[in-house]
């Protein structure tokens, strides 16, 4: 039995449900980059650490492709969130 329902959140940073993502895919936003720009999926604080895999599976299912045939969106720096103060060193005495 699947534990995934239409209302299951797949991007926690941007509050996106699987239903919303499927709707955008069916409107033709069926690539990683396109759907990211349409919905902000993966653009929150975690930068897609959880949702990237879920979206990959959804896109593969919708396009009847293997997940390995789907291009991922670009991985951008920084790898982890980084404070401005940590970069300049203003925090070093705290």
Partner 1 sequence: MNKTADVVVIGGGSIGCAVAYKLARLGFKNVVVLEKGYICRGSTGRCAAGIRQQWGTEMNCLISRYSIRQFEVMNEMLEYDGDVEFRQNGYLMVTYSDKEADMLRENLNLHKKLGIPVQFLSIDDVKEIVPVLNTERVVASTICMEDGQANPFKVTDAYYRAAKRLGVNFYTYTKVTGFKKQGEKISAVITDRGEIATSTVVNATGPYAKFISEMLGHQLPVEPERHQIVVTEPLDPFLKPLVMNFYHNSYCQQVVNGSILVGYGNPKEPKGVNYSCSWHFIRELAEKVIDQFPVMKDVNIIRHWSGHYGISPDGQPVLGTVPGVQGYYLALGCGKGFMLSPMIGELVAQCVAGKETTLPIDILNVERFEKGELIVEPAVV
Binding stretches for partner 1 (CB under 8 A): 31, 33-34, 37-38, 40, 43-45, 47, 74, 76-78, 81-85, 87-88, 90-91
Q: How far is the CB of 14 from partner 1 (least distance, A)?
A: 8
CA 93/CA 27 separation, integer angstroms:
52
Q: How far is the CB of 47 from partner 1 (least distance, A)?
A: 6
CA 89/CA 22 separation, integer angstroms:
44
Nearer to partner 1, 1 or 89 (CB): 89
Nearer to partner 1, 2 or 70 (CB): 70
Nearer to partner 1, 57 or 82 (CB): 82
Q: How far is the CB of 54 from partner 1 (least distance, A)?
A: 19
Coil vs helix vs strand at 66: coil
């Amino acid at each position: 039995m699947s534990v995934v329902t239409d209302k299951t959140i797949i991007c926690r940073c941007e509050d996106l449900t699987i239903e919303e993502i499927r709707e955008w895919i069916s409107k033709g936003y069926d690539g990683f980059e396109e759907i990211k720009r349409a919905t902000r999926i993966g653009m929150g604080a975690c930068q897609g650490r959880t949702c990237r895999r879920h979206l990959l599976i959804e896109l593969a299912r919708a396009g009847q492709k293997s997940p390995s045939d789907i291009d991922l969106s670009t991985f951008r720096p920084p790898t982890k969130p980084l404070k401005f103060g940590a970069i300049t060193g203003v925090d070093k005495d705290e």
